[in-house]
Amino acid sequence: MEILTLKTFKTVVDEGGIKGAADKLHTVQSNITNRIKKLENELDTRLFTLAGRKLQLTPSGQQLCQYADEILQLEYQAKSAILRDQGSYELRIGMPETFAAVHMPLALKQLKQDHSNIQAKIFTDTSDRLVQAVLNNKVDCAAIGNAPQHDKLVVIPIVKEELVKVTPKESDHDPVLMVRDEGCGYRNHALLWQQLAGQGSDELMIMSSADGVLGCISAGLGYTIIGKNMVVGSRYEKSLTMTPVTHGPKHVQLSIVYRKGSPLETGTLTLANIFTRQSMTSRRSTLNKHVKSTMD
C-alpha cells in the first residue's frame, strides 16, 4: 500500500465522499476513484458501500481506517521530526476566527521575531471541529476555549477571559440572544446563561461572525454573552455596554491543545509560553491602570 493511496482513502472518509476528497486534495474525482479501486483490488475487498447517495465504510473499510490513521500518524511524525532536527519547520495552528483577530497577532509577531525557524500556518474553525483537527493531524495544535479532557490530548491553559453580557448602549434591545454557529465556545456559554437566567423564551439568532453579532447588537437587535476581549477594541465598542455575567461561569478558559507524542511539541510549548507571558503583561497593565484611576 502506498502512502498516497492511504491518504486518499482517509480523506474520502474524513470528507464524506469522493467529491469532498477531490476538493481537499486538489485533484479530479476520477483520480480519487481510481486510487480507491486500486486499494480495493490490492486488498481484494470492498472498502465502501453506497447507502443512498452517501458512501459508508464496510467492516473491512472500518478496520483499514484504524490502521491508516496510525500509519499516517507515523508518517507525519517522521517527516516533522526530520524537518525539526534540520532547524526549520512549519507549525500548523488552529483557532476560532475571534481568537485569531484578538489574541493571535501579537503572539505571531513575537514568534516570528524570536523563533524565525518556526513558520506559523494558521487555520480557523470552531472549537469543536479544531479538537478533531488536532486528533486527525490536520493541525499541530489549536487554541480553543473550554478544552475537553481526552486521553490523546495535552492541554495547556494560556488565557482566562472574562465573560460579559453585551447590550446596546443608548437604546433598548429586542429579546433576541445572538450567537455564533454550533461548535463555538462562546455560544455554549451564552445558551447556558440563557437557561440559568430564565431567558429561555428569548429568540435565538445565529450569525456567522462575532463582528456581525456585535454590529447587530449595536443596532438594538438583541444581546449576547461573549468574552470581554471580543468587544474591547472592536469598531462597535463605543456603542455597546458590557456587564459581568450573573449566572453560570464568569470566565472562559482558553488553552493550547496538541496531540500527545507530537514531534513538534517544542514549537507548541514555545507558542504557549508566548501567550502566557502576554497574558501576565496584560493583567499587570490592567491592574496598574486600575490603581492609577483609584489614586486619581
Q: What are the tens digits of pLDDT across the range 232-259?
A: 888 899 999 999 998 999 998 899 999 9
**Please, what is the end-to-end C-alpha distance for the chain in angstroms?**
73
Residues sharing a CB contact under 8 Å with residue 188, sequence separation 6 or more, in sequence order: 146
DSSP-assigned states of every residue in 127-170: HHHHHHHHHTTSSSEEEEESPPP-TTEEEEEEEEEEEEEEEESS
Residues belonging to the chain: 296
CATH 1.10.10.10 fits 3-83, yes or no: yes
Q: Tell me how far apart the 2 most distant CA atoms of the chain are, in Å.
A: 81
How much of the chain, in percent, has pLDDT values that exceed 70? Answer: 94
Angle between helices 29-43 and 18-25 (to 10 degrees): 110
Q: pTM above 0.75?
A: no
* pLDDT, mean of residues 92-120: 88
How high does pLDDT run on average in the chain?
Answer: 87
Count other C-beta atoms under 10 Å from residue 85's C-beta: 9
Q: What fold is seen in the domain 86-160+253-295? A: D-Maltodextrin-Binding Protein; domain 2 (3.40.190)
Question: Does pLDDT of 280 surpass 70?
Answer: no
Q: Does the pLDDT at position 207 exceed 50?
A: yes
What cell does 97 get?
Answer: 476566527
Query: Is the pLDDT score of 287 beyond 50?
Result: no
Closest CA to 178 of 209, 147, 154, 150: 209
CATH numeric code, 161-251: 3.40.190.10
Q: How far apart are CA 60 and CA 45, in angstroms?
A: 7
What pLDDT does 99 receive?
83
Selection from 65-79, 107-121, 270-284 with the highest mean pLDDT: 107-121
Under 8 Å between Cβ of 158 and 268: no
Q: How far is CA 204 from the centre of its chain?
A: 23
Please report where in the chains the cell 495552528 appears, as a residue. 93
Q: 248: which DSSP letter?
A: S
Coil vs helix vs strand at 200: coil
Query: Which residues have a Cβ under 8 Å from the Cβ of 283 and sit 6 or more positions away?
Result: none
Do the beta carbons of residue 164 and residue 244 sit within 8 Å? yes
| Interatomic CA distance for residues 292 and 156, integer angstroms | 33
How is the chain split into domains, by residue range? Answer: 3-83, 86-160+253-295, 161-251
Residue 96 has what pLDDT?
A: 86
Backbone phi and psi for residue 127, each to the nearest 5 degrees, phi listed first:
-60, -45
Decide the pairing of beta strands 89-95 and 48-51: unpaired
Report the distance separating Cα 8 and Cα 2, nearest Å: 10
Whether 86-160+253-295 and 161-251 share one fold: the answer is: yes
Neighbours of 282 (CB within 10 A): 14
